[in-house]
């Protein structure tokens, strides 16, 4: 039986996140949207200092993340904090995608080595570098190489659109998980993840993108030029086997796509809540329980927005529940990601439309949420790629059979 009910401890932490989102994140949301590359130092130091009380510590048997509802708790927290500001949520010091890759592909010793640091010391970040200038949705076409030279791996290549890449590459104790091929002739099986520590010679941040939305979150381009890392920084086995390689990358996405879906749901909920309050202040209440024929056009639109958001939320919860219970969730993770990305895009656009010029103006955060929403339909697998994955899973086709 699927049970999404949080226990008392988890509910207490979720309530704490709700306070953070409303009282800390929302008031500074516009400031950091308008000053894209400014670092919200006070915010992330506050979040780092309070991570233990909130259940954000990462490491062996740390807090809520060690129990059976670990992933479900994470997506509930992601929704609440993204309601506050999704860009600021992405700036919270944490293992991020890099940590997810370590969890998916690393040995027990590597998980201890790389993730323990997130429970102590100063604020730190981890990122994942997979996308390349000539390789976007087709991540199996990676051209960045890693070759063995004595007691080191040497990495060469360029990675782009790396979320949190600058923070992870340049600040103390952070790291970037770089996906590179050790054998081009082996295809997908030859692709391996490598942990590159902050300030490693040969790794450089060459650009930080100017973006439509999530502007406070840094999105970096990284170049690796004869970047040397220790042999044991390859996650898992360095051997080229058909069952390894790129499948580890997909396992990473199975864990993180429900989180991205939850981020989208948080943004969509922010827009819905704002529209509801806006209408209520003008004595325009949404009347539930009436037939569609008796509803106004605004009421019908609003209810449809609610339906789409709730459907996306249930898909995200199911994907998280499956993962927490040790079941494969590849199909459900892609379904949640695809549904939430599409839903939040439509919901925020409709919210702006319902308020007309006021929705389009910068007097409110509604137009910002519309800009923030679109990235959820793009990163960690575009809408089209996730729909393709869903079709393959349902029909039982391989990537060669259906592309």
Averaged over 259-266, what is the pLDDT? 97
Q: Would you place residue 189 in the very low, low, confident or very high pLDDT band (cuts 50, 70, 90)? A: confident
pLDDT computed for residue 252 by the predictor: 84
- What is the rounded (10 degree) CA torsion for 377, 206, 81, 318? 40
As annotated, the active-site residues are 380
How far is the C-alpha of 124 from the C-alpha of 397, rounded, in Å? 41
Cα-to-chain-centroid distance, residue 106: 20
- Asked whether the beta carbons of 168 and 98 are under 8 A apart, the reply is yes
58 has a pLDDT exceeding 60: no
pLDDT computed for residue 141 by the predictor: 83
Judged by DSSP in three states, 274 sits in helix
How far is the C-alpha of 76 from the C-alpha of 71, rounded, in Å? 9
24 has a pLDDT exceeding 80: yes
How far is the C-alpha of 349 from the C-alpha of 327, rounded, in Å? 35
Which H or E run contains 259? helix 246-281
The residues with which 197 forms a beta bridge, in sequence order, are: 175
Q: What is the residue-averaged pLDDT of the chain?
A: 91
Judged by DSSP in three states, 61 sits in coil
**The Cα angle at residue 168 between residues 163 and 169, in degrees rounded to 5:** 110
The pTM of the full predicted model, rounded to 2 decimals, is 0.93
pLDDT computed for residue 2 by the predictor: 65
CB atoms within 10 A of CB 189: 20
pLDDT computed for residue 62 by the predictor: 47
Judged by DSSP in three states, 176 sits in strand
Residue-range domain boundaries for the chain = 108-233
Averaged over 180-190, what is the pLDDT? 90
Residues contacting residue 29 through CB under 8 Å, at least 6 positions apart: 84, 85, 88, 365, 368
Distance from first CA to last CA of the chain, Å, rounded? 35
Residues contacting residue 38 through CB under 8 Å, at least 6 positions apart: 32, 216
**The Cα angle at residue 192 between residues 245 and 150, in degrees rounded to 5:** 130
How far is the C-alpha of 41 from the C-alpha of 45, rounded, in Å? 6
The CATH T-level fold of domain 108-233 is Butyryl-CoA Dehydrogenase, subunit A; domain 2 (2.40.110)
Q: Would you place residue 67 in the very low, low, confident or very high pLDDT band (cuts 50, 70, 90)? A: low
How far is the C-alpha of 244 from the C-alpha of 105, rounded, in Å? 9
pLDDT tens column, 147-176: 999 999 999 999 999 999 999 999 889 999
- Asked whether the beta carbons of 265 and 348 are under 8 A apart, the reply is no
In percent, the amount of the chain with pLDDT more than 70 equals 93
What's phi and psi for 121, nearest 5 deg? 75, -150
């Amino acid at each position: 039986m699927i049970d999404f009910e949080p226990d008392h401890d988890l509910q207490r932490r979720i309530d704490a996140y709700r306070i953070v989102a409303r009282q800390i994140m929302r008031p500074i949301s516009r400031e950091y949207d308008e000053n894209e590359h400014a670092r919200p130092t006070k915010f992330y130091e506050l979040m780092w200092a309070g991570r233990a009380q909130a259940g954000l510590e990462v490491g062996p048997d740390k807090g809520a993340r060690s129990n059976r509802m670990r992933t479900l708790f994470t997506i509930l927290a992601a929704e609440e904090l993204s309601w506050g500001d999704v860009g600021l949520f992405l700036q919270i010091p944490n293992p991020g995608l890099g940590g997810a890759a370590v969890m998916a592909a690393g040995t027990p010793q590597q998980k201890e080595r790389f993730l323990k640091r997130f429970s102590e010391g100063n604020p730190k970040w981890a990122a994942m570098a997979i996308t390349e200038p000539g390789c976007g949705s087709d991540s199996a076409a990676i051209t960045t190489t890693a070759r063995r030279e004595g007691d080191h791996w040497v990495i060469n290549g360029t990675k782009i659109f790396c979320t949190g890449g600058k923070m992870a590459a340049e600040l103390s104790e952070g790291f970037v998980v770089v996906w590179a091929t050790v054998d081009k002739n082996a295809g997908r099986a030859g692709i391996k993840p490598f942990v590159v520590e902050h300030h490693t010679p040969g790794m450089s941040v060459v650009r930080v993108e100017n973006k439509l939305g999530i502007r406070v979150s840094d999105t970096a381009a990284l170049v690796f030029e004869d970047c040397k890392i220790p042999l044991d920084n390859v996650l898992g086995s360095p051997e080229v086997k058909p069952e390894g390689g790129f499948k580890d990358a997909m396992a990473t996405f199975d864990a993180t796509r429900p989180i991205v879906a939850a981020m989208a749901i948080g943004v969509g909920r922010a827009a819905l809540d704002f529209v509801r309050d806006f209408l209520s202040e003008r004595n325009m209440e949404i009347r539930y329980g009436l037939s569609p024929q008796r509803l106004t056009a605004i009421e019908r639109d609003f209810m449809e927005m609610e339906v789409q958001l709730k459907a996306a939320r249930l898909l995200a919860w199911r994907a998280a529940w499956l993962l927490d219970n040790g079941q494969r969730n590849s199909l459900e993770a892609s379904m949640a990601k695809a549904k939430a990305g599409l839903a939040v895009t439509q919901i925020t656009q409709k919210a702006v439309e319902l308020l007309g010029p006021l929705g389009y103006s910068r007097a409110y955060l509604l137009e910002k949420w519309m800009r923030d929403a679109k990235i959820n339909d793009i990163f960690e697998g575009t809408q089209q790629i996730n729909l393709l994955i869903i079709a393959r899973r349902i029909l039982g086709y391989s990537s060669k059979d259906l592309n």
